[in-house]
Structure 1
Amino acid sequence: MLLGCAPRSATMISSTVPPEALRQNDFLDDFGKGLPSGPSVQGTVEGLVEGDLTAETASQIAVLNNPHLKSVYEEIGIARADLVQAELLKNPIFDGEVKVTEMGEDAVLEMVLKQDFLDFSLIPLKKRMAQAELERTRLKVAGEILSTIASTKRAFYSLQASKQELEMMKQVQEALEASFQMGEQIHKAGNLTDLDLMNQKALFEQSKIDMEAAELAVLENRQNLNRQLGFAENDIAW
């Protein structure tokens, strides 16, 4: 008779993606020891936010806090639970029967334990299938992590570029404003034509439009990066 029964439970991830797929990002090397969860993740994210945000720290925050990745991580826990379940036998079946002899002797209670041996013979196959599914899931998670890291870095650098462009536009606008004000004075003195003054004014007005566009680009890029980091679009915590 064979006995083998255990409850099935889907746990949070205690394993991780293949480390060789993640070595281009040093901070992911520790994932082989298990993914953090709960308060430890929140504390890590808060610590990273308090420092200077870089492309690397932004990637770390996204890997830990991005809601899409959080749901993907759970797939590893489910696949691992399936692997554990594949190694277990189904619960045995107990049958009981009371027999009374013809001679009026004491009744006899017979208990029979039944186990499905076909299920036992299929364990190696089910285990291999579950292992293959776990490996497939781990590779999928690795791809999702690397994709999130790449998109987070793109969002970070786009924000940095838009900030630099905004700063440049401020300098251009200040220069054009000063030029226009000086042009007005020269025009009053009769040393600048109406057309030249109008051209300077047009350039100054265009610079204000360009400035507004640059400010909007910074806002949009900041919101996009916030989404990548797992924060609300308008929750500017960094």
Structure 2
Amino acid sequence: MTQHFARGLLMLTAFGLSGCMAFSPDGGMTTVSDLASQTINKDVAFVRSAEGAEAVNATVHRLLARTLTAETAVQIALLNNKGLQAAYNELALAETELVEQSLPPNPVFSISRISGNGANEIERQVVGDILALATLPFRSDIARDRFRQAQLRAALATLRLAADVRRAYVRAVTCNELAVLLTDAKATAESTAQLAVKLGETGSINKLDQAREQVFYAETTADLATARQAATSTRERLARLMGLWDDGLDFRLPNQLPPLPRRPQALPSIEADAVAHRIDLQIARLELTALAKSLNLTEATRFVTLLDLAGISRRTQDPEGAPFRERGFDVQFQIPIFDGGEVRVRQAAETYNLAFNRLTERAVNVRSEARDAYRTYRSTYDIASHYQREIIPLRKIITEEMQLRFSSMQVDIFALLTEARQRLASLRGAIDARQRFFLAQSDLQTAVNGGGSPASGGDTSTTIAAAASADGDH
């Protein structure tokens, strides 16, 4: 009987091995690469060898050789950011979990020899976990869903880094542009303050007007120092996101933001696009599927928490030296006297309901975020375009007319300086409006594809997955 059991155990094990997963050559990166290519048109790389590292370094150095654009900065970060590489390592670890869950449990073989009082006894025993073998297809299916989630989480980390780099790039270039503007304004204010001092010495202007010119110069100097500090800080943040250090820190940024697009994007189905493409929603859907499968598995095994079937072959030698063999089997299981499995079933059901409500809440929030992001995108485009088409051209006309009138002595120096202050304020407003537009453009892309900050309610996927894992392992 023991031989029959051993053969059955081996056949069952072989059957389980036929459905085993194998490690993929890229660590599950195909899904991440495809999503990055389709969503943001960028390449990603999982560096796992010295050759891969050299290839990435060569590409990064080539991209750093010219003035950075937002797209170039994003590409460098996706190749060079070590935090993103750590996310890809987590994906590779998730694949090991998938392979492990697809393997049947190892049978345990033991042999013992006992002698005494002239008698010898040799016992061989093979122990297999029948419950683990029976639930192997279910556990493998759940593990595949969780691995798919891990792939989407890695893709989400990729999109999140890309969005962070775009925002950091916009802020860094804005600070550069503002610093250039304030440098010119400071030179003008300094000349004006010096002129005011000379006029004050001759008695041509009073102390009040002289103080006004000097305070304008002092305030412009302070604003320039603040802008330069902001430019340094935003540049450092961009360098961190791109994973640059030492020689890579001398990258070049443009002195101003690019011009506005000729027309804004028209997205009539923004809500449907967001619900269909948001990666965080895809993760939540897979989580719900995995929990449903885990709930079914919990209900199927609620009364059996341990089942070990042991095939026993015992060889005994009596005191007279005549050997004889004993065969049999031993079954061990828990008797559900106090806990019939209702607690685990209730836990699984409530965990599923939790995930369902989180998914529904997230879907509602995604639609709202998409609507709000598009409205912000359109309004910031209109404001920045208004500055570009109306305010700045009018300011240019006013400046030219004031200079002509000053040349013909129709206005004095103070009227000209007053106009210079107003023009400076308009230019700063235009820079700020363009910055807001490009940030809103990045936020719109994030609202449609995902990659923003976690929801305010917290990312509960890890907690929910842990609960599902506990249920599936029983």
TM-score of Structure 1 vs Structure 2, range by shorter chain: 0.7 to 0.9
- Is contact 2:182-2:224 (8 Å) kept? yes
Name the counterpart of 2:147.
134
1:120 aligned onto 2:133: yes
Distance 2:30 2:111 in 1: 47
Amino acid at match of 2:233: E
Distance 1:158 1:147 in 2: 17
- Is contact 2:35-2:155 (8 Å) kept? no
Once the two structures are TM-superposed, the CA of residue 87 in structure 1 deviates from its matched residue by 2.2
State the SS of the aligned residue for 1:35.
coil
Once the two structures are TM-superposed, the CA of residue 147 in structure 1 deviates from its matched residue by 1.2
Match of 2:107 among 88, 92, 108: 92
1:45 aligned onto 2:60: yes
Range with bigger deviation, 88-97 or 219-228: 88-97
Distance 1:156 1:121 in 2: 54
- Is contact 2:36-2:42 (8 Å) kept? no
- Is contact 1:14-1:35 (8 Å) kept? no
1:177 aligned onto 2:210: no
Name the counterpart of 1:102.
none
Aligned residues: 223
State the SS of the aligned residue for 1:24.
helix
- Is contact 1:92-1:116 (8 Å) kept? yes
Distance 2:159 2:86 in 1: 15
Distance 2:108 2:25 in 1: 28
Structure 2 matches for 1:52-71, cutoff 5 A? 52-71=67-86
Distance 2:222 2:110 in 1: 85
Once the two structures are TM-superposed, the CA of residue 164 in structure 1 deviates from its matched residue by 0.3
Range with bigger deviation, 77-86 or 89-98: 89-98
Amino acid at match of 1:54: T
1:156 aligned onto 2:169: yes
State the SS of the aligned residue for 2:236.
helix
Name the counterpart of 1:221.
234
- Is contact 1:90-1:119 (8 Å) kept? yes
Which digits, 9 at most, give the CA deviation of each residue in 1:160-198, with x for residues without a partner?
Answer: 001000000001001111112222333333322232222
Once the two structures are TM-superposed, the CA of residue 116 in structure 1 deviates from its matched residue by 4.4
- Is contact 1:67-1:230 (8 Å) kept? yes
1:211 aligned onto 2:211: no
- Is contact 1:10-1:78 (8 Å) kept? no
Range with bigger deviation, 158-167 or 129-138: 129-138
State the SS of the aligned residue for 1:23.
helix
**TM-score normalised by L of structure 1:** 0.78
Range with bigger deviation, 41-50 or 203-212: 41-50
| C-alpha spacing 1:95/1:213, structure 2 compared with 1 (3 Å) | closer
1:83 aligned onto 2:94: no
| C-alpha spacing 1:124/1:237, structure 2 compared with 1 (3 Å) | farther
Which digits, 9 at most, give the CA deviation of each residue in 1:208-227, with x for residues without a partner?
Answer: 11111111110111111122
State the SS of the aligned residue for 2:46.
coil
Once the two structures are TM-superposed, the CA of residue 14 in structure 1 deviates from its matched residue by 4.5
Once the two structures are TM-superposed, the CA of residue 110 in structure 1 deviates from its matched residue by 10
Structure 1 gap ranges (5+): 99-108
Amino acid at match of 1:134: F
Once the two structures are TM-superposed, the CA of residue 53 in structure 1 deviates from its matched residue by 1.4
Range with bigger deviation, 60-69 or 136-145: 60-69
Once the two structures are TM-superposed, the CA of residue 159 in structure 1 deviates from its matched residue by 0.4
- Is contact 2:171-2:234 (8 Å) kept? yes
Which digits, 9 at most, give the CA deviation of each residue in 1:117-173, with x for residues without a partner?
Answer: 443332211211111111111111122111111111000000000100000000100
Distance 2:167 2:248 in 1: 20
| C-alpha spacing 1:180/1:145, structure 2 compared with 1 (3 Å) | same
Match of 1:13 among 23, 27, 36: 27
Amino acid at match of 2:69: T
**TM-score normalised by L of structure 2:** 0.42
Q: Please, what is the CA RMSD of the aligned residues? A: 3.3
Larger RCO, structures 1/2 (Cα 8 Å, 6+ apart): 1
